[in-house]
Structure formats: structure tokens, C-alpha cells
Structure 1
Amino acid sequence: MPTDSALDAEATALDAADPLAAHRDAFVGAESSLVYFDGNSLGRPPRATADRLARFVTDEWGGRLIRGWDEAWMELPFVIGDRIGASTLGSAGGQTVIGDSTTVLLYKLLRAALDAQMTADANRVEIVVGRDDFPTDRYLVEGIAAERGARVVWVEVDTARGVDADLLRAVVGPRTAVVLLSHVSYRSGFLADGAGLTAIAHDAGALVLWDLCHSAGSVPVELDAWGADLAVGCTYKYLNGGPGSPAFAYVAARHQSTLTQPVQGWMGAADVFSMGPLYRPADGMRRFLSGTPPVLAMIALQDTLDLLEQAGIAAVRAKSVALTEFALRVADGILSPLGVRLASPRDPAERGGHLTLSHPSMRAVTARLWADDVIPDYRDPHGLRIGLSPLSTSFAETLAGMRAVAAAVAREG
């Protein structure tokens, strides 16, 4: 087991060699002694966002008032959507839009895909989803299946992993309409094979909807290269948009004219201001909007997108892997002797930006750590998630947090 001094020296060396180290100073609170292990749930705010929001209130909202819609705000969901697509999703322009919450956008796209598939082939009545996917995904699948007379097919998974090729092949077939997949599993951090799983679903004649909530901004995504059909992701994790910031939706260009989204609102109409008697959907991604875009809630996203565009997603991923590998080495040295086991893939090629550590006392450990300004989160059964945000987390912070975890386990265990 490495000595304390050896670990300190390693963390110091890694921070000194980190090409993204300077970006840490861009975030509020990064200079404090608080250890933040929950950037995979809510990212730290960029310092620049406070000024951006203040300018928006005084200059755009206060200065331009209703004129802001004609001058910029109507197009903002598409402008920011395209920036997210280019910097983090591997998506060409015109396929990504900022809209509602993750839940609402997942509902829209899943329901639209199912309806299209059932219309084309009445036998395609099955929605495939992982048994350990995030609750929203599973609840939506159950609700939409009941609503449309479809059937849920569950993929039984190891909670320390996720859906892989063998598991997916075993459940898709001529009755599969849509497959809903998580790129990074919320519990274990398992990183799915985007291209491989998309191909398996397509070979079965199914459409694929990717949940990118735990990968966008941390793990490279190549939606166009995968041949993906649809995707949804949130913006308050690695994109640092703030609590409840709106989600994004991706619809491949080849599907945009054929999918009918089920929440028909005025902002998705072909002529928004005609106020006509009948709904006619707009062309392109506008048809996937419903109500008035959340302009104020989109503003904060731009500062992290600036940083991501400067750094490049490949460098962000390299830092992410380095952070989780370092945390794992520390865990092997100081937590394994305490009975803590890894509940995530050990291979970094199969792992996203967080680790889950399992021990029977982790719920109490989490509460103790929060009281001491060390902030991981807890997930049943017995899982402590260590979320490491590459732009805002240092190796020294990671080491301090892992030592705090070890001390808390020792006290509670």
C-alpha cells in the first residue's frame, strides 16, 4: 500500500502535469477546502456565469424586453443545441435542441419513436430497457407502454455493470420497436458501446434512444458516427447549467420529417405567430419544441461550453480517466482493507466519469461526510458514488476526499 507521503507526491505530480489544471480556477468554490464528489449530479457553477446572468438581466431582459425574442431568444435553443452537438455529442448542426426537462424530452422522443414503429409494423410493440436504468427512464417506459398498448422487455443486468452486446442481442427481435439505453449507467458508471449497441438494435429493425445524462461533457459521444436515431441528456451535471437547467434532444436528420412528437405546442408549429386554427409542425428540430423556451435557464450553459470548446472533449476524457484511475488506486490501498469493494467496472475503457464503492455502512458514511464538507452521494444498495468532474476536480482534492471516505468507513464500520 502506498505511504501517505507517496500518495501526496503522486497527487501533486499529477496536478502539476495536468493540462486542464488551470480550468479549475474557473469554477466557484474550487479554491475552498470542501471536497466535491458529486459533479455527476450537479456541477459547480462557472465564475463567469454570475456576470453573464447579471448582464442578461440588465442588458437583454431589462434593456431589450420583448424585442429580445426577435433579436436572439427564438433561436437560442438551436444555437446552444448545435454548440452542445458539436462540442460533446459528435453531431452535425440542425439535430440538437434545448427544450424541456430530461423527463419530458425522453417522453416526447420515446413516444414518437414507438408510434412511428407501430404504425409501420403493427407487430413491433416492444420497448427494451435495462432493469437498472435510471428510474425516470424505467417509469416512462412503463407509462408509455400502458398508454399505447405496448409491452416492456427488461434487460436483466449486473448492477455493477450495464447493458452489453450479449445482453441486448438476447432480447431484441422482430417485435422490438424501440430500445432505450444509457450510455453511462447512473449507478455503476458502466460505459456502453454506443456504436455496437446501436448496430445490434438496428439489425433487429428497432430504433434507439440514448440517455446521455451521465456522459455528455465527460465522455466522447459520436451520435452521427454511431448511426444513432435519438438521444436526450441533461445539462446540470458535466455541462454545469445549474439546478434544473433544461435538457437537450437529438433527432437524426433522417427522422425529423417522419416523427410526430406528442406534446403539440405553439413553439413547434410551422408558423409560430400565425396563431392558426390547426397545428402544423415546423420543419427540422423546431417541431420537437412545445412551449416557450426557458431562455433564462439556458444562459448559464454557455460558459461551460466555452471551456469545453477550448479544452476539447478528448482532453476532458483523458483527465476523467486519470482521475478515476487515481481514485481507484487510492481505494485499493486504503479502502479495500476496510472491506470496501468496487461496484463499477475496473477497466477504464468500460467506465465513465464516476466510481461506485460498496460497503454496508455507506448510507451513514455519506451523512457523516456531508457534515464534514465532503460531498459524494449515496445509491442503494450500499453504494457511495465518487463523481469526478474533469474541468473542476483536482487530484489533490480527490486524494483528500478518498482519505475522508476511509476515515468515515473506519468510524462507521
Structure 2
Amino acid sequence: MRTALRTAVATALLTGLAITPAITATSAFAADGPAATAESAGTLVRTETLGDGTVVKIYKLGPTSYRADSFARGGSTGSVYANGRPGAANDNGRFLVLFEDGRLLWWAGNNAYGVQLGLYRLADGTVLEVGKNPRDGRYGLQLVENGKGRGFTYTHDPVRTVWTYGKAVVVLGAGGGEFAAYVPGAAKQSAPVYVGPPTTPEGSTPPPAEIISGPTLTSICTTTEDIRSSYGTTRYVTLTNDSTQGPTAALKDAKGRTVAKVDRAHPLDTVNGLRIERGDTLTPRFGQRTQGGDTPYRWNDFPKVPKGCKQPAPAKPTPAPTHSATPAPTTGTGAGTGTGTGTGTGTGTGTQGGQTSVVPQGGVAAGAEFGSVEQANDTALLASGAGAAVVVAGLGFGVLRRRAGTRG
């Protein structure tokens, strides 16, 4: 229902606006301040008139949530919503962008038609690459500097998504049908211009994931960093590099809950496509992918620890139980009675052989016959049917991919 609403909004917004090169950019909260009128759907904070006479009323719905209602020729022409991030509408090449702080930006034109994968240059010289998510077909962008991509971010809205690169505001359709840009304050404006093929040809190693925040020093020799997850914008990965404990990568959902984790002792998670290499060094790296087989990993270096921190010691495997090869001696007392011309009794001691005692060591519980808890779990899986375990793991991976593709 929400998708249908946004589609209707996109086609209805700004209907009837005259085609004009006039461009209007406004700042949040006009000088007259918030209006006193409050409606159930929000508080009216200001009213603006665009260059062609269209009237736009901006309502505040929450701290980072706004709605812009447009009116032309005395009737409503639609609404745009910004909830935590910008929203946009396109009416035949006329774009209206509403930001999460209430700012409004409107322009006509600057739309690149026939969008193809590859490099584009904006009016201010910014170079962006248009890419396509191989899992669900959504289009995305990455900033390219000195010939190197900074990591793709794909459209999160089912219709179109707004990004800001420096001063440039960019609108990209989820299916690549529109790609427009505007640089507020710049004397020169133009549509994005195609300048070359993709930086990452199909089948080659994908670029590193985009860094969201960090690196941050959390202790003397521990550094953390958050990067984008390959499963979409609703998930991210926290990379932690500790000079003593080694590297850890935690896949988290939108609420910050850990979904999966790899570390120096357990560097591979094939179900979630997570991998750590060089875990016993000060320069480990993290790989992630959403499909198995020959699909290449996207690699990111872990954040560096400060100079002077010691090299991490190699991870020590859990010791296996020790089996004693020497039989434990057992003593016993025997008695015999004989009948004859006389009676007598005798005692004797002997050694009872043929037994071997098992002596668990380390952290293994008494009576256990597994080298570690991990081995115990594996044995239990085998006992209950290894085939079932494989099927469950495969289903979990498939569901995770589809869920990420739908939500991200």
C-alpha cells in the first residue's frame, strides 16, 4: 500500500506546472517562523510559492519528518514525504526535493535520459558511477575519486532515492529511469554527463564497502569502524581490530543487533558470506558476499590500531582430550577353602588388566568424550542427520538474501 501511495504521489505531484528554467532553493523555517495552525497530520511551519506560481505548504510531522503539499490552479497536486532522509517527486522532468530538516529544493531539467551503467560527471566536476545490484536489480551510485570507487549505495525507496555529494543533490530512480542532479548556488547547471565505462567490469573484484562511521579508538589498542553490508542498507558490519584479541566482524541489523559474527578463532561463516584473512597480523582484512560458489568477495581492511601496539599472538586451538595408554592397576583379595584331611585358608593379591581409563583435560566436562563444545555440537548434528543440517543452513541463507533484497 505504501508503494502504491508513493507511486501515486510521484505521478500526481506538481501536475500542471509550466515548463520553465526557473530554479528555486529555499532554507528551512522562513523568517515568519512556524505557523500557529496545527492539523492532525502535522504542524504547518511555512508556505512557499515556486517560480511558476505553485504553492507548497510544509508540515512538520516529527523531529526529522516533514510533508510538503503542492497546490496549483486551486487544487492539490500531491505530496512529498521526508522521514529521516530526503524524499523526491518528478513531474515530467521537474523535481521537488524535501529534506528531513524541512528544506525544500525545486528545479526543472538536469535529467540524464537513457541511463547506462558507468561513470558520469556532474556540473561541479563530481564523478559518480551508476551501478546495478546483482541480487535485485536496484540501481545505485558510488563516488569515484582519483579513479577509485568509494563503495556503492543502492536505492532504498521503491520509486527514487535522493543523495547529496558535497553540494550536489542527486535523484536516481530505483530502475534507472531517471538520473538528475542540481548544485545549489552554482552558476552552471547541467544533467549528469556519461564519461566512461564502469570501474569494475562484470566478473572482477568488487570495490570495498562504503564506510559509514569511524575509525574510532575505543581503547588504547582497539579501533572500530562501521561499513555497509552487502545485504542492503538495513544492515551494516562493525569491524573491530584489537591488538591482543585480533579482528572481529559483526553483521548487524537496523537496530544494532548482531546477526552473525566472525573472529580470529572462527574466521569463516559460509552461510552469511563473511570471512577474515590475516587474522594473526596487525593488517587483517574482511570479506563479504551474498552468494556462494565463485562469487567474489568484497574486501575491506580492518581499521588500523595505533602505532606501538604489539602484534597479536596466534589463536590457540582448543586442546583435545588426552587418553592414558597405561592400564590403571586394580588390587583385590581372594579367599579359598579346601576340604580333605585338613582345612586351610589362604589370601593373595593380583592385577586386573584389560581396561583403559579416559582422563579429560582442560575445559572439557567430566565424562565428556569430545575435544571441545564445537566438536560435541558437530557430532550431535551427525547423529541426528547431516543432510538435514545442510538443508537448514541452505534455507537460512536463501531467506536472508531475499529478506535483505526486499528490505535493503
Scaled by the length of structure 2, what TM-score is found? Answer: 0.21
Between Structure 1 and Structure 2, the one with more strand by share is: 2
Higher helix share: 1
Larger RCO of the pair (alpha carbons < 8 Å, separation 6+): 1
